[in-house]
Structure 1
Amino acid sequence: MDKYDVKTAHKALYAPSSKDFSVVDVPELQYLAIDGHGDPNTSPEYTEALETLYPVAYSLKFESKKALGRDFVVGPLEGLWRADDMTAFTRREKDTWDWTMLINQPEWITVDMVERAVANVKAKKGVPGAERVRLLTLNEGTTVQILHVGSYDDEAPTLHRLHHEYMPAHRLAFNGDHHEIYLSDPRRTAPAKLKTVLRQPVRPL
């Protein structure tokens, strides 16, 4: 049985250079998604979101393998981040951030399957907020991305360079939410060695 792995199927999207920004075209992809607000370091809502997404993702994996004979690797945690003022990211004003946490899903996963997985997780684990999980389709199109190695709190200089140097120099404007892909497990990885893809959808000015 072949096992789908989004990091292998879309290698260019999950293994960018850490030295230079690159422009990639991101195809339409779907995700488990849950929304929230506030500082991810202190918000109970953020902790609850992660405690909900992973059980639903693994429930879907098991159903897909059993019912469809199609297995997949549960993808890395991803996040869409937004704020009324984009400088809130470079200033790290985390209390003002809105977010949507994501886990990629193969194209054959359906809304009905997600609803069954949510019901299964609620029944077995009693996870609060499971009903907030939904299947989200993203079509980000042209994006600029780079691999950040280091603490999440050290992203600001790279984002400043993207927003205030690279994008103006290439006559690009924002065209969607700031997108991060967490390739490392922060529970097992030293902050200085964390690997995070920083991605920004753009459009020509």
Structure 2
Amino acid sequence: MSDLREDIAFLYKTRKGSVDFVDVPPLLFALVQGQGDPDGPAFAEALQALFTVSYAAHFGLKKQSGEVTKVMPLEALWWFEDPNHEESVEAVTAGFTGLSGIARESWRWQAMMVQPEPIDQALLARALEDSRPKGLPGLELVRFERWEEGRCAQALHIGPYAVEGTTIARLDAAITAAGLKVRGRHHEIYLGDPRRSAPDKLRTLIRHPVA
């Protein structure tokens, strides 16, 4: 069986200072959607639930077939919705601007983790049920969904999330120079565990779908 982790490894290896264009195939995700400050309890509960289910699925796979797979990085989509601020909605949804000027309580997010083959929906469902005795509130919000992001541009940001603006500007300038435009939502991939990394050591892959 093909190892999906090897097939998609290029999606997580952008070099510092570069902007890469990649084609993201259909992938199976465990995900939780929510709203509010990423430093608040809802986002923390979502991450706890996703890591719990993901590790349970990988443990279940090892028990079932003896195969050992690596848990994939945490990812998140970020956007903002407010019918009274249409221009801001379009800019943030497209990924052209950050959310720094918008109240954190209004931020919308989708935290998610790729579930590599041979993990499938059935194994994930069992992992979710096996995790329920832990009593984690975020488990009630976990869903499994296959999603194809398609053609994207991405750039590596090193450092605190609050200063991503320069990297986003470089990314979007490269997209414009290529004769393309941003579509979809601002996508971040956290290379490492953001719960345990020092701010200046954070490595975040910023991805914008393009058309």
Query: Is the TM-score greater than 0.5?
Result: yes
In the TM superposition, what is the alpha-carbon distance from 1:166 to its structure 2 partner? 2.8
Q: Distance in 2 between matches of 1:168 and 1:26?
A: 20
In the TM superposition, what is the alpha-carbon distance from 1:87 to its structure 2 partner? 4.0
Q: Which runs of 5+ in 1 are unaligned?
A: none
Pairing 1:96–2:112 present: no
Letter in 2 for 1:68: S
What pairs with 1:1-205 in structure 2 (closer than 5 Å)? 6=5, 8-41=6-39, 43-84=40-81, 85=89, 86-87=91-92, 89-92=97-100, 93=102, 94-123=104-133, 125-163=134-172, 165-203=173-211
% identity of equivalent residues: 38
What is the SS of the residue equivalent to 2:60?
helix
Distance 1:194 1:37, change over 3 A: same
In the TM superposition, what is the alpha-carbon distance from 1:105 to its structure 2 partner? 0.6
What is the SS of the residue equivalent to 2:189?
strand
In the TM superposition, what is the alpha-carbon distance from 1:96 to its structure 2 partner? 2.5
Letter in 2 for 1:135: F
Q: Distance in 2 between matches of 1:87 and 1:118?
A: 33
Alignment TM-score, normalising by the size of structure 2: 0.84
Q: Which runs of 5+ in 2 are unaligned?
A: 82-88
In the TM superposition, what is the alpha-carbon distance from 1:169 to its structure 2 partner? 2.8
CA offsets per residue over residues 96-119 of structure 1, 9 Å max, x none? 321111111113322222222111
What is the SS of the residue equivalent to 2:137?
coil
What is the SS of the residue equivalent to 2:23?
strand
CA offsets per residue over residues 150-194 of structure 1, 9 Å max, x none? 11111022223434x333333322232221110133344321121
Q: Distance in 2 between matches of 1:32 and 1:128?
A: 16
Q: Distance in 1 between matches of 2:58 and 2:115?
A: 9
Residues 37 and 97, structure 1, Cα contact 8 Å, conserved in 2: yes
In the TM superposition, what is the alpha-carbon distance from 1:91 to its structure 2 partner? 4.4
Q: Distance in 1 between matches of 2:195 and 2:59?
A: 25
Root mean square deviation of aligned Cα: 2.2
* Number of equivalenced pairs: 198
